[in-house]
Chains A and B, each alone.
Chain A
Amino acid sequence: MIRDITIGQYYPAKSILHRLDPRVKIVCTLLFLISLFLQKSVLGYVIAAVFLFGVIRLSRVPFQYIVKGLKPIIMLLMITVLFNLFLTRGGAVLFHKWIFTITELGLSTAVFMAIRLTFLIIGSSLMTFTTTPNSLTDGIEKLLYPLNKIRVPVHEIAMMMSIALRFIPILLEETDKIMKAQIARGADLESGNIIQKAKAMIPILVPLFVSAFRRANDLAMAMESRCYRGGDGRTKMKPLVYKGRDRMAYLVTVVYVIAVFAIGRYVPFHIWIF
């Protein structure tokens, strides 16, 4: 079950999205996320959905694969929805029993929140599906490069991120192994209340941490033996250069953002008072 987590994983395929410059994908994802949170019209969400769907089709990542990535956040989504549903007050009361009250505003906020979060996860995981962690960190490194002037170790941060991403599947696999090993020795991970369950995690976390440190040590040695000495004097195998398709992608995203805002502002198409 633990290996099913697909968030943050790269999905190899040959699509225009995979070939885009990582900087474009980062900036456009950010723009998309901002567009989700700064507009409130139904039509705006319809446009966002169409845009997102188009991008998914372009990426050639199977739809089921993306949906699978949503699984781990369902709990979070439910909690957010429930809180918004019952705790936001405003507008006409639709439902009232004991301490539970659902208002018009509560309902609309809950629905929008659910849509927003789902789009947010899909949008950002599309970025990681189509960008190898290395090029992602290359993109971040290049985007944050100006910070180098105020002594932020940009290259080192980027390198740390890319290594962390590389080790996620390895450590997950290891967690699985340790869990099985401890279960084989009679560890009980399933029963008991939440505190007992948390305590049962200790025999899994301790070996996991020990092995993670050992791996880190090995990896550091392997990197050093391959002449790694930080960002200075390093060349790039895949240097980032904007191409025509990258400018095109910027243009499409900017047009989308303007469209969403314009419609939110000028087209009076509100189902809920919001």
Chain B
Amino acid sequence: MGIIQTEKLTFEYAKHDEEGNVIGMNRAIDEVTLDIDPGSFVAILGHNGSGKSTLAKHINAILVPTEGTMWVNGRDTKDPMELWNVRQSAGMVFQNPDNQIIGTVVEEDVGFGPENLGVPTEDIWKRVEDSLKAVGMIEYRSHSPNKLSGGQKQRVAIAGVIAMHPKCIVLDEPTAMLDPNGRKEVLRTVQELREKEKVTVILITHYMEEVIDADHVFVMDEGHVVMEGTPREIFGCVDELKKYRLDVPQVTMLADELKKRGLDIPNGILRTEELVEALCQLKQNT
């Protein structure tokens, strides 16, 4: 059994008109069944309104399924007795860096989670130090979060989650509000964590470039999982991705266009170097 497993997960919410009367139900997630292996790096892709963020909130039991079940680390998120266990084993990083930092000093914010868990004081300090080191923010420990850049704030938020020693981290569009440098910074941190701490990472995003290194990719559209596979398999189907209003990385796009014009290039090219390699090979063969 995977660290995160869902069985026909469905989430509905009521639509209201301007007077607040219910005018119908909206299915944000429709019978999603998936299974995520411990220690893997999973990306969930989707356009706005595809239900990807709603799915993320289920992992943390902020939302509970209307129908179906979600298990996190083997625990049913619907069970109120397991709520805090679920939230401890699945940490969550949100989109807006400002709205998730509670402390007024970096280290106090990182300590917030362990404090809530009732961890003894000396352990909190150790956890705070370890997690700040893990995200490379240890030299900012006594700074005010207001003075940090967006990328740094997100790294602090990640440290705050790691300090709770979760089994998996859910990142809900962590780079959406950052500039390109901040984005790189955050993704590098996530990568390093995965290698060092061996946590499961679930990255929710609509930037295709960010999912190249993932082990497994789910593509969501209108509440359904419409595609599933390794990044190479997913990016091989450029036309299908376009149907779901997703942009493929430029180099994949170029490779696809060249292929359509009759060049013999393998499917699912993800990096510039790969395309260069493929083209050189082609030239040598002719």
Listed in ascending order, the chain A residues whose CB lies under 8 Å from chain B are 10, 12, 132-134, 162-163, 165-166, 169-170, 215, 218-219, 221-229, 233-239
Contact = CB atoms under 8 A, between A and B. Distances in A.
A219 B91 CA distance: 15
Contacts of A235: 114-115, 118-121, 124
Contacts of B128: 237
Contacts of A234: 115-116, 118
B38 to A, nearest CB: 20
Contacts of A221: 57, 62, 94
Nearest to B61: A225
B62 A166 contact: no
Contacts of B88: 227
B125 interface: yes
Interface in B81-131: 84, 87-88, 91-92, 94, 96, 98-105, 107-108, 111-121, 124-125, 128
Which of the four size classes fits the interface of chain B? 35 or more
Contacts, number: 96
A225 B142 contact: no
Contacts of B143: 12
B87 A224 contact: yes
Contacts of B96: 215, 218
Interface of B: 57, 60, 62, 84, 87-88, 91-92, 94, 96, 98-105, 107-108, 111-121, 124-125, 128, 142-144, 146, 160-161, 164
Interface residue SS majority, chain B:
helix
A163 B125 contact: no
B104 A134 contact: yes
A238 B114 CA distance: 12
B116 A226 contact: yes
For the complex of A and B, 9 pairs with smallest distance between CB atoms: A237-B111, A222-B100, A218-B99, A227-B116, A226-B113, A225-B92, A237-B124, A133-B104, A225-B60
A93 B150 CA distance: 63
